[in-house]
Copies of this chain bind each other. A is one copy, B any other.
Amino acid sequence: MTSPASGLFGIPEMTQVWSPQSLVRRMLAFEAALARAEARAGIIPASAADQIEAVCRGPLEWLDIDALFAAARGAGTPAIPLIEMLNEHLPDPVRGLAHWGATSQDAMDTALVLQMRDGIDILVERLLSAGTAASTLAERHRHTLMAGRTLLQQALPITFGLKAARWLGLIARQVPRLQEVRLRATCVQLGGAAGTLAALGSAGEQVTLLLAEELELVVPDMPWHAERDRVAEAASALGVVAGAMAKIAADVMLLAQTEVGEVAEGGDSGKGRSSALPQKRNPVDAIMALASSRLAVAQVPVILGSMLQEHERAAGGWQAEWEAVPALFGFTVDAVDRVRSSLSGLQVEPQRMRANLAASGELVMAESLTMALAPSLGRRQALLLVREVAGRARENGFNLRLAALADERILSALSVVDIDAALDPENYLGSTDTYIDRALAEFAELLPAERKPSHE
């Protein structure tokens, strides 16, 4: 189905992979490869395979796609009318030899797997682009101080580079996961009408191997018409990617709030302008990524729930995949691409970050002060003391430094220099640098040589 928002979600490359035309092309690729495999196994004549291949790989003027999908409504699958039309179109001696021994689901599922493979490649490519953007931010803002926020409350100082490094780590971990799934899920489907390959007699295994070879697909342990764990695993991996994008997008959205103002999405070309409010700069990419992420995640339980598949071919569960899998790919890549776009053009405001950090009157350094006091007072005493002093500071509207300097107990434990050192965020970043290094290094290993940034 199409939708009013059809222009707003998805990227053309992915939409193209899952178009009706593309499905038909891939089903025909299956038929061509099957004919070739069966010719190699001596089941149909090589000349027949040649003719079938020529038709399947050639121009498709002979095929009325609208008529095909209209017929598919009654047939319950587009494979049935396609195979009929294909055989119709083949010259007489070859007619009937296409699709020999296979079932419509063999063509549909193998096409699905070919689409998933292409879809994953596009996803990985966009993830690497998003990662590159995050990696640039991590590197560039390694020392840019900002408030770390837990439960949306300022907690301790971090650097923006660390936040970007955590985004980067999150992105980077998805890439090998998708590549794993790409290997595992791209099994050829060939089982015949009830999954026994009965029509191929004793040649079933051989034809399966040759077919997989033709299409560069994996040979499964057995046909998987009604056991969809591989599809479900791939779907779940995409769901995790979509969920990951929501984390990054939410951070951008929150940092871009008027009152926070620490980042803005690249403001060229009217992006994010309001019709009524000239001052606004909406983080459109982050917002759309959040929407896409929700829509993508919603497909996962459809696919998991659809694993309930009856006997040797499902009545409903398989058919639901036909919409859910493309939607999942479409929304997931949209979320990734929006995050890529958001991060690529992100305007970072280090001064605002610093100002926000300072705005709470160094209260954010309370733990640091606690830790500095702990050796002499004990952690518990230190905690209670700093809590008291911080409360006094908050109530009276002066900052933690002043409140600390006014407290005898603190002064007897720490010198003014020590207090100032304890209140300097730069001194309280712990393992920040290590984590940034690690994220950068791990991501760099994922990049193909030609994409690695040259630092000079």
Contact = CB atoms under 8 A, between A and B. Distances in A.
Interface in A144-199: 147-158, 162-163, 165-166, 169-170, 173-174, 177, 192-199
B84 A152 contact: no
Contacts of A147: 258
Contact of A80 (B274, B305, B374, B439): B274
B236 A277 contact: no
Interface stretch (A53-61, A127-135, A412-420, A429-437): A429-437
A143 interface: no
Contacts of A258: 147, 149, 152-154, 356, 359-360
A438 B221 contact: yes
Contacts of A317: 290-291, 294
A61 to B, nearest CB: 19
A402 interface: no
5 contacts: A150-B313, A151-B283, A204-B431, A236-B300, A290-B316
A275 interface: yes
Interface residues of A, number: 195
Nearest to A112: B4
A123 interface: no
A165 B272 CA distance: 29
Interface string A43-66: 000000000000000000000001
Contacts of A390: 278-279
Nearest to A79: B275
What copy number does this chain have within its complex?
A: 4
Interface in A93-141: 93, 95-97, 99-104, 115
Nearest to A20: B4
Contacts of A96: 374, 378-383
A166 B195 contact: yes
B8 A78 contact: yes
Given A177-B233, A307-B244, A320-B291, A2 B5 contact: no
A66 B6 CA distance: 11
Interface string A201-217: 11011000000000000
Nearest to A374: B96
Contact of A227 (B93, B247, B367): B247
Given A170-B227, A276-B103, A298 B290 contact: no
Given A3-B18, A96-B378, A199-B371, A151 B313 contact: yes
A407 interface: no
Contacts of A251: 310-311
A347 interface: no
Given A277-B367, A302-B295, A196 B429 contact: yes
B87 A380 contact: yes
Given A166-B227, A229-B174, A259-B257, A193 B287 contact: no
A451 B259 CA distance: 39
A34 interface: no
A368 B198 contact: yes
Contacts of A228: 243, 247
Nearest to A3: B326
Contact of A431 (B97, B157, B197, B270): B197
Nearest to A297: B304
